[in-house]
A and B are shown apart, each in its own frame.
Chain A
Amino acid sequence: MASSTSTRLEWIGTAIDQYQSRLIRFAARITGDVESARDVVQDTFLRLCREDVERVRDHLPAWLFRVCRNRALDVRKKEGPLQTLDDAGTPAREGLEADPHARLERGDDARRVLAAVAMLPAPQQEVLRLRFQEELSYKEISGVTGHSVGSVGFLIHDGIKKLRQRLGHDEPASRPEGERTDA
C-alpha cells in the first residue's frame, strides 16, 4: 500500500466527520428510519475502508452517496413494501426531516417550500436534495443515481420550475402546471 495506515485512518476519520450526518439523513429518506440509516452508513464507511484510497479520493462524495444509496435500497427491499419512494410525505417520512424544534424555528417559507417539494415525484425530490442539500454537481448526481447528466439537468430544471409555479412567487399562481412560459 502506498499510503500508510495512520494516514489512511486519518483520512477515513475526516471522511466520517464530513459526511456521516449528510449520509445518514440521505439514507433515512430511503429506509424510513434513522437507526437503519446509521447501519447503512456504517456499512458504507466499512466499504470505504476496503477501497483503494487513490481510486476514490477524487470523487469521494459521489462514491459515498452511491454506495450508501444502493445499500439503503437493498435494506428497504428486504424490509418489504412498507415504504416506497413514492409515498414521500407520509408522516413517518416527514418526521425525518427535522426535529420539532428545528421545524418550529423554520420560517413559513421553508415549510411551504418543503410542502411543495413533497408533491414532486420521488426521483425528482431525490435529485433536488442531492443538488441543494448535499451540494453535489450534476455529474456527481448522475454517478450516484445512475440517471444521465442530461436527465439530472432536466429533473432539476423542471423541479425548480414547478416549485416556482407552486410557490407562486414569480409566476401567476393560476397558470396551469406544465404550460410553457413562452414570453
Chain B
Amino acid sequence: MHDERREEDLTAYALDELDGEARTAVEAILAGSVDARREVDEVREAAARLREAFASVPHQALTPEQRAAVEEEAARGVRRSRRSRSVAAALVAGVAASLVALVVVVAPFERYAKPSVPAGFHVPVPLPSIASLPSARAVAPMSREQFEQLKALGYVGGTLGDVDEYSRMKSDELRDSSAPFNTETYDHIRDNAFVLVAQDPRSTFSVDVDTASYSIVRRFLRDGQLPPKDAVRVEELINYFPYDYEPPTGAVPFAVHMETAACPWSPDHRLVRIGLKGREVPRGERPPSNLVFLIDVSGSMDAPNKLPLVKAALRLLVEQLQAEDHVAIAVYAGAEGLALPSTPATDKAAILGAIESLSPGGSTHGSAGIRLAYETAAASYIKGGVNRVILATDGDFNVGITSPGELVRLIETEAKSGIFLTALGFGMGNLKDATLEKLADHGNGNYAYIDRLSEARKVFVEQIGGTLVTIAKDIKLQVEFNPARVKAFRLVGYENRVLAHQDFNDDTRDAGDIGAGHTVTALYEIVPPGVNVAVPGVDPLKYQPTAARRPGTASGEMLTLKLRYKQPDSDHSARLDVPVEDSGRSFEEASPDFRFAAAVAAFGMALRDSPYKGDVNLRTIQEWARNSLGQDEEGHRAELVTLIARAQQLSPNR
C-alpha cells in the first residue's frame, strides 16, 4: 500500500482536505499503521513550518485612490451591460477626426486611476496635457450626447467634459447654459501679488470652506492630465485637509491659531499661518436636524457618476442620522414634486425606499424646485435645530429662470428664513461650478464637489457636523501689518475671496461660514524689512510718514489679525483681535500642520505655475508633505503625496 497515491491521500488527510469515504479510508489505515500516523504528523509539522516561513510578509494595500475607484464602481450598483464594442468603435470612429488632440481611447478595463502605472500596462496612448492645447476653443464640435455616450462606455477620458466644465468656472455671471458645447474660455485667476506695507498695510478677505478645487485637481491627475491652471484654487486645496488645531474653549465659536516660520519656497521670506477651528459638536449632541434633499432628476443627471452617486451619497447620510432628525425629499425636473414628505429618521425604510425610487427624466426647472424645498423646510422648521436644504445637482438649470440673478435673489430671500443650504455638485462635463458656488455663497451655504463615493463619505460621515451645523457665519478677516516688521506681504490663494477694506465692518456684506469642527487655514508670505522685493509699477509715496515714526510700530508685533463673525442666528457681528509676533523659527521647527499646509500651497502654486512658486520642484514638495502627515487617520494627506507623485510623472520638469 506504500504507493504514491496513498501517500498523497495521507498528505491530503493531514491537511484536512479529505471528507466522506476517502477520509474514512485513510482513518482506517491510520488505525493500523504507526508509520502512517507518523507520516501524517510529519506532514503537519512541515505544513506548520511552511506557514511560519510564509507568514510575516508586510501588509500591502491598494492606494486610497485605487480603493476609491473600486468603491465608486461598486456604488454604481447595477451591472452595466457590456455593450457591443462595435457600437462604441463606430462612435469612436465617427468622431475620431475631430478629437485627435483630446480623446484618449482606452480599453474599458483600464480607465481607472492608476497612480503608478508601469510602462506597458495600459494602452500607450500619449496623454496630452491641457496646457499644451491651443485653447478650449480649438476643440472641434461634438455633440454632448455623443460625448456622454462615449464617456459612459469608458472610451474617452474626462478631457472634453473637463474643458467644458472648467471653461465655465468662476464666471462672474450665471451663463446661458444653452450656449454651445465647448465654446467658452477659462476665467483667469491671477495670483495675489506682493503688496508693500508702505502702500497698503491692510489685507481683507472672507473665509472659504469650499473644497471643490481639490476634488477637481485630483480627478484630472487621476485621469493622467495636469489640471488647467485656473482650476487650481490654492485656498481650496489647503482647506480640503483637516488640521489638528485645538477647538475653542470659551464663548467664541471658533479658536484662532497663528504660527510663523520661514517660508520654505522663498527662504528669505517668512510665512504666517492663520488657523481657525470651529467648535466641535460631538456625535449624539448634534441638534435635531430638519433636512430637505432637493434632488435634480433631470435627464442630464442620467450618468453613472451623477444620480446613482447621489443616491449612494444620500444613503451614507441616512446612516448618520439621529432619531429626532427629519428628512424630506423634493425632486425637480420637468416639474417639481415631493418624493418624500418630512419623515422621521426612525422610519429609515421609507427614506431609503424614496431614495431608491429616484429616476432621471425631464428637463430642469431649478427655481421651482428650490422654492418647494424651502417651503418644505419651513413647514417642518425646528427652532434651535439644524434646518438645511441639501441640493444635489450638476447645476444645469435650463428651464424656468428668466434672468441670471433671479435664482440668486430667490436663494438670498430664502436664506433669511434661517434655512441654510448645502450645494453638492456632481458629474463632469455639465457641472456649472459657478452657479453652485454662487448659490452656496448667497444662501448661507457650503459647496462641495462629489466626484466619487469616498468624497461623499468625507462630507457626510467624517465631517457631517461641519456639513450640517453652522457655528458661525459671515466670517471676515482683516490683517494689519506692522511696517517695522513687514516690508511686503502676499495672501496665498483666496483670490476670489478678497474684500474691500470697508466691507470688513459692514454687517450687510455676506461672507463665508464655518461649520462645526471645520478648520480654515490661510497663509501670508511676508517679506521682512531689508529684503528686496519686486513690486512692479508702484512708486514710493510722497507724503506718507515712514514706518519708524508711527505709533505702535516699535512693538515686536508682526501683524494684528482682526476677525468679524456672526452667531448663526444673528445679524450683528462680533469682533476679535489677535496680535502676532514672529517666532523666528525655521521651517523644520514648525508644526506638522504648518508644514503640511505650506506643502499644499507650494503644490498648488506649482500646478498653477505661479510666479511666486519659488525655486522648488515637486520632489521637494512631496518630501515636505510626506514629512508632515501627522495623524492622518483618514488617509487624506497620504493621498496628496501620491497625487504629487502623479503630477511629477506628468511634468517631470516641475
Contacts and interface: CB of A to CB of B under 8 A. Distances in A.
Contact of B121 (A36, A41, A51, A106): A36
B67 A16 contact: yes
Interface string A74-90: 01001110000000000
Interface in A92-124: 97-99, 102, 105-107, 109-111, 113-114, 117
A99 B60 CA distance: 11
A99 B319 CA distance: 40
Interface string B40-53: 00110111011111
A75 B54 contact: no
Given A5-B77, A153-B11, A102 B61 contact: no
Given A97-B57, A117-B53, A153-B11, A12 B71 contact: yes
A114 B55 CA distance: 11
A46 B58 contact: no
B308 to A, nearest CB: 8
Nearest to B63: A38
A57 B203 CA distance: 60
Nearest to A34: B60
Given A113-B49, A183-B2, A39 B114 contact: yes
B122 to A, nearest CB: 9
A148 interface: no
Contacts of B66: 38-39, 41-42
A46 B113 CA distance: 11
B41 to A, nearest CB: 10
Given A9-B75, A36-B118, A39-B117, A102 B46 contact: no
Nearest to A128: B50
Q: How large is the interface on B (under 10, 10 to 19, 20 to 34, 35 or more residues)?
A: 35 or more
B73 A49 contact: yes
B15 A49 contact: no
Q: Could you say which of A35, A48, A113, A132 has the most chain B C-beta atoms within 10 Å of its C-beta?
A: A132
B298 to A, nearest CB: 21
Given A113-B53, A153-B11, A164-B46, A9 B60 contact: no
Given A5-B75, A8-B74, A36-B118, A132 B112 contact: no
Contacts of B8: 153-154, 157
B229 interface: no
A109 B53 contact: yes
B53 A42 contact: no
Contacts of A144: none
Name A's interface SS.
helix
B46 A163 contact: yes
Contacts of B118: 33, 35-36, 39, 75, 79
B312 interface: yes
A145 interface: no
A37 B316 CA distance: 31
Contacts of B60: 20-21, 24-25, 28, 34, 37-38
Contacts of B7: 157, 161
A16 B70 contact: yes
A13 B71 contact: yes
B70 A25 contact: no
A174 interface: no
Contacts of A131: 15
Contacts of A80: 120
Contact of B453 (A9, A35, A182): A9
A35 B62 CA distance: 9
A90 B566 CA distance: 67
A1 B356 CA distance: 12
Contact of B17 (A50, A138, A183): A138
A129 interface: yes
Closest 7 CB pairs of A and B: A5-B77, A24-B60, A113-B53, A133-B54, A157-B11, A49-B73, A12-B74
Interface of B: 2, 4, 7-8, 11-12, 15, 17, 35, 42-43, 45-47, 49-63, 66-67, 69-71, 73-80, 109-110, 112-114, 116-121, 308, 311-312, 315-316, 319, 352, 356, 453
Given A9-B74, A38-B62, A38-B63, 11 more contacts: A9-B453, A24-B60, A35-B118, A37-B60, A46-B73, A98-B58, A132-B51, A138-B17, A154-B4, A160-B50, A182-B2
